[in-house]
Amino acid sequence: MDDEEIAFAVIGIRTLNPLGTCILDCYLDGIEAYFAFRNAEGGLFGRELSVGYVLDDELFSNQVRALEVISADDVFGVFNATLIANGWGDLNDSGIPTFAWNIHATESANRTNVFGHIAAMCATCTQRAVPYTVKIAGAAKVASLGYGVSENSKVCTRAVADSIDLYSANIGAEMAYFNDSLGYGLPNGIAPEVTQMKELGVDFISTCMDLNAMKTMAQELSRQGMGDVVLYHPNTYNHPFVAEAGDLFDGDFVTPQFLPFEADADNAMQEAFIDTMTELGRDLSELAMIGWINADAAYTAVLSAGPVFDQKSAIDALNSQTDYDAGGLIVPIDWSRQHVPPVEGDAANDYALECFAPVRMSGGALETVADPATPWYCWDNTTLDWAEPTQTVFGG
């Protein structure tokens, strides 16, 4: 950092990405777009926001890259989007502001210098999102599937099943099939499992698997005459992928962790994202929006610290934010308490509201399930009791 710029490093996975999806480059698109947006307004305290350098962690080298940044000591903060986040602890302990694609419950927990696009998570806690989607779909027999080689996937698969069990009487559906031991990427297909689900009358399948596996499953369901079974996708908010699938995913659901592009909520930050990405010739994507949200958190940290700032004062300033929502793009986070993972039934460190903004796939396109002007379904998080959610929008 100098008198002319505030520079950041970006660490993420490009090489050896087992998902085959765009992570680092799409994430970088969003960060660079946000910086361009703010720099066009005059930057921050007379300085330009910039990406100093980009480091590919090649799946297994996130810690190596983090240590390189720490050793160089030449950037103000770090952005991080990876599949193995073993460098986050080093960045946190070095007092470097770190902004991350937070799909890692363990690595983000209790680290007050690491700010995810979502707060610290309780991976094992029940939630109402999937059960409510089951109710919307009018389903009665639910399956929960995940990978055996991924602890995150196994925990997620169990949490979904526990959620269905908890709210079974409220939604008129029950768990019928559970499998958390599938091979990563379904290398041997999924025909036997689909046959078993068919015999059990499964009409709704929630998974903790990647989008390519979801396509494999949808194709096998169709082959076995189960094309009308509804799928709940965790990672298929990918417009080109959905478009290419045509009608394969018709009636299925996916939930982005931010205001969906399909919303019509008159949100200035969403408009700025779309306009800037278009001006730069970058494709809209989930990871680009995550990058934009992370960049906004970095901007907010420095802005809140004031013109005479350093890494610690910026971190402290963001940690004093009790209602941070990235301009209405995400469910508000209280950073004074939400670095600590919540526990089941205790809202002390949880979101004030449990919210999700599902979209439904149809004909290769997506549309919000709720009114596009108020696309979030939310519940009061002080109780686990079942209730109809409130439709809302954040920001303004």
| Close Cβ partners of 380 (under 8 Å, ≥ 6 residues apart) | 352, 353, 354, 387
What SS3 class is residue 161? helix
Residue for token pair 């394969």: 248
pLDDT above 90 for 185 = no
Single pTM value for the model: 0.95
**Domains of the chain and any CATH numbers:** 5-118+266-341 (3.40.50.2300), 123-256+351-396 (3.40.50.2300)
Band of pLDDT at residue 396, cut at 50, 70 and 90: low
CB neighbourhood size of 1 (10 A): 18
Tell me the mean pLDDT in the region 16-34: 94
* Res. 1: pLDDT tops 70: no
Tell which phi-psi region holds residue 185, choosing left (phi > 0), alpha (psi between -120 and 50) or beta.
left
Question: Exposed/middle/buried for 352, CB within 10 Å: 0-12, 13-18, 19+?
Answer: middle
User: Average pLDDT over the chain, rounded to whole?
Assistant: 96
Looking at residues 159-165, what average pLDDT do you find? Answer: 98
Whole-angstrom distance, CA of residue 27 vs CA of residue 290: 7
End-to-end Cα, the chain, rounded Å: 32
pLDDT above 90: percentage of residues in the chain: 93
Per-residue pLDDT tens over the stretch 356-365: 999 999 999 9
Give the model confidence (pLDDT) of 108-150 as tens digits.
999 999 999 999 999 899 999 999 999 999 999 999 999 998 8
Q: In the chain, at which residue ranges do the beta strands (DSSP E only) sit?
A: 5-12, 48-56, 77-81, 98-100, 114-116, 141-147, 174-182, 204-208, 230-233, 253-254, 353-356, 359-362, 365-368, 376-380, 390-392
Rounded Cα distance between 203 and 212, Å, is 21
pLDDT band at 151 (very low <50, low <70, confident <90, very high): confident
- pLDDT for 395 beyond 90: no
For tokens 């094992």, the residue is 124
pLDDT digits (tens, 9 = 90+) for 221-268: 999 999 999 999 998 999 999 999 999 999 999 999 999 999 999 999
Nearby residues of 331 by Cβ (< 8 Å), 6 or more positions away: 118, 325, 351, 353, 355, 376, 378, 394
Q: Supply the pLDDT for residue 18.
A: 85
What residue has token string 């962690």?
Answer: 57
